[in-house]
Structure formats: structure tokens, C-alpha cells
Amino acid sequence: MANEVNWSANYAYRAQTIARPRTISELQELVKQATDASPLRALGTRHTFNDVADPGSAGTLVNLAELPATVEIDAERRVVRVPAGLRYGDVAIALEQQGWALHNLASLPHISVAGAVATATHGSGSGNANLSSRVAALTFVDGSGELVTLRRGDADFDGAVVAFGSLGIVVELELDIVPTFEVAQTIYLGVPYERISQALDLAYSVSVFTDWSPESINQLWVKAAVEAPAAEASVRELGATPALHKMHMIAGQDAAATTEQFGAPGPWHERLPHFKLEFQPSAGEEIQTEYLLPRRHIAAAVDAARALTEQITPLLMISEIRAIAADSLWLSTAYSTGDDDWADGAVAFHFTWKREQAAVEQASALLEAALAPFGARPHWGKVFTDAARVPGLYPKFEAFQALVEKYDPRGVFRSDYTRRLGF
């Protein structure tokens, strides 16, 4: 078969084989037959930009799309049981139909639940933790072919949720749910850089967009829960003015793909993402990088990024800054011990680049060096260049390596990606 490519076509998977098990028993047999010389990696919706999902040329990609896709709501426990390969947007529709919601969504509703959870993908909002923080239980096939279920409170749970496929292939998750709610989204212009931190606390979910070149940011997207609207006085204090026409964060892109704006209230799942499920998200032919660092360093980090304007802006489509609450999952990019620099939450610096791989890697190396003094952690599924530095950014990384030995003793989920991280 021809090599498969990821969503933006910047990465071609080296694996020549894709398996499509129809039952969990078939998946278990695949795992039992695998070896460290012929490993497996799960293939989700391909919204990653590196080789995190690639088992290598001798390995097999495992597509879970043909497993049963039943969504089961347990109203009493306030959880929903979902298959790993289902997209967040599809889960959201099923929940909304029965009066329920998730606490948050990422900017793209097109991503799979298991893939987003495994890489600590997030939405925004200083009071909202990563999507992975709302996992109540997960079930996976480990490296011996055994079916393992871990629940919140179990000894290994905090280490197993964000694991980028290194402990096994996740087949099912339980997610916390809340009663459905409405959100209103308004786009503002003209916010100065020194007010970014203040802007991130305006509402339930806030995104700052900039190309780092002007004296003020390009756009401020404010997504307010209808029962807790953003205070107009606070918005005016920022020097912000409402946009007069519908906006796409990337110049020149069709705004029809973006979710409704101008303060029109609507269901949570139609406002919290930046893009509509039925449209292609973002620009398509692009590369993404992202770095998360302690919220308390935001001002200095903004200055460090702005100092690189001449090097990064010509290659950049747009950059996004978001706040995320801290959590206790070992390899979450917002992990905090509770009394460290991360206790006040994280801030994410996201970069959407033109699809020029070598130039992006050079720009990423510059950014990683500039943000290193703040302990910046790269997103597991996006381009980063200094893998050797990553284990030292996570206090529980050695404990995670012990989990890898426990659940994958034969090394059937190891890859070049995991070896760069030291296991």
C-alpha cells in the first residue's frame, strides 16, 4: 500500500500495513502476534504533526473505526462511555440530544477522543483543565494482549491517561459530563500585548490570536457561558472593539468554517470549538507546534516570543495563546504537583505555520530555546525538536517509564518516537 499521510500531509507514516479490527478480541490477537520488531500504534483522526502514531516501516497502524461505536450515558454517575476512535464532535451531538455536555472542547471537534486524551489536547479557559482531566475511566489492550480497565483513584490511573499510546491501545473511555449549557462568542480587536493575561480571564473560554508583528494582537475570541457573560466594562478596559464582520483567525481563509459569532447564544458544542464539524478545520496545508508553560510566566514569555518576530512571522499563519487549569495527570502538559510553578495553571503558545517542514523545525528550535527558561513543555502530537530535554520537564516521568515496563513488557508499542524520549 502507499504510505498514509496525516491530516495536513506534512508527515507520511512509514508503516506499510493498516489493521482494522472489528472486535476487541481481534485487536487482542493483533497485539499478541506483535513483537518489538513488528510493533503496533493506534491511528486516530491523524490530527498530529509528528511520528507519535507511527510504529515504523516494520510495524502496523491500527485503525479502530470499525469497532462498535455506541455512546452510553450514565446519568446517575454523570459519565458517558464512548469508543476510543469516535470524534469529539460526534460525542457532543449525542450528548446534546439528551441534555448533557462535556466541560470543554478543543478548537477542532474533528479529533478522536482517545487521540486527544493521549496527547493532553485541550480547549481554553483559565478554569478549564485539559480534555484528559475529565476521563473517569479508560480501557486498553496492553502489551500482553490483556484487557485492562483503570478508574480514577486507581494507583496507575494518573499515569495512564496521557500516555501517547505507550501502555496499550485504548478501546473505550468514560468521560465526565455536565448538564448542557449555552455559550455566546464575540470577537474583539485592538487588545495590547500587555493585557493578554487579563484578557484570558474574561470568560469561560478565551483565545488570543496574533502573528506577533503588530503593536496589538490580531483578534480576541471570547466565548462566554450565557449564564455568566463577560463584563462589558472589563472588555472596554482592554481597549478592545468588537469585530464588524465574521472572522477567521487566519487571514484570507473563509470565515464560513468558523463557529457563530456576534454574541449569538448557542449550544456549547457549536461555540466552544473554533470550527464547525462539517467544515475543514484551520487552513489544511499547515504544520503546528505548541508549548505550554506556567501561567505566571506569561508576560516574560510573550516578550521572548515577540523578540523573534523577524524570524517567525514570515513563516507563520497565526499564533494562539490560551490558558488551561492545572491537573494531576503525570504527563499532562498542565501537570502540577500542587505547590510548584504550575499550580496557577498553564498558558499555551500555539503556532500554525506554512507547510515548510525544514523552516518550521528551525523556527521551533528558536522558540524552544527562547521558552526553555520558563519550563515550556511541547505538545506531544505537534512538531518539537529537543526530545532529550522533555523527560526532565515531568517530575513523574521515571514513574511513567515503570508503567511502560509493567503494561508493555514485550515492547510492542515502542517506536522511534518513544526511543527519543528514553524508553
Q: Residue 391 has what pLDDT? A: 98
Where are the domains positioned within the chain? 17-63, 72-179, 182-392
Helix/strand/coil for 8: coil
CATH of 17-63, one of 1.10.760.10, 3.65.10.10, 3.30.43.10, 3.40.50.2300: 3.30.43.10
DSSP letters for 197-230: HHHTTSSSEEEEEE-S-SSB-SEEEEEEETTSPP
pLDDT at position 291 over 50 = yes
Question: What grid cell was written down for 37?
Answer: 520488531
Q: What is the CATH number of domain 72-179?
A: 3.30.465.10
DSSP letters for 145-167: S-EEEEETTSTTHHHHSS-TTSS
List, for residues 163-185, the tens digit of each pLDDT value.
Answer: 999 999 999 999 999 999 999 99
Average of per-residue pLDDT across 80-108? 97
pLDDT band at 215 (very low <50, low <70, confident <90, very high): confident
pLDDT band at 3 (very low <50, low <70, confident <90, very high): confident
List, for residues 96-132, the tens digit of each pLDDT value.
Answer: 999 999 999 999 999 999 999 999 999 999 999 999 9
Contact status, residue 101 vs residue 179, Cβ threshold 8 Å: yes
pLDDT at position 1 over 50 = no
Question: What grid cell was written down for 394?
Answer: 515531568
pLDDT at position 283 over 70 = no
Question: What grid cell was written down for 16?
Answer: 506499510
Q: Which residues of 221-249 are buried (b: 16+ CB within 10 A; e: fewer)?
A: bbbbbeeebbeeeebeebebeebeeebbb
Q: Please tell me what DSSP assigns to residue 408.
A: -
Domain 182-392 has CATH 3.30.70.2520: yes
For the chain, the average pLDDT equals: 96
Question: What grid cell was written down for 313?
Answer: 512571522
Contact status, residue 113 vs residue 71, Cβ threshold 8 Å: no
Q: Residue 282 has what pLDDT? A: 65
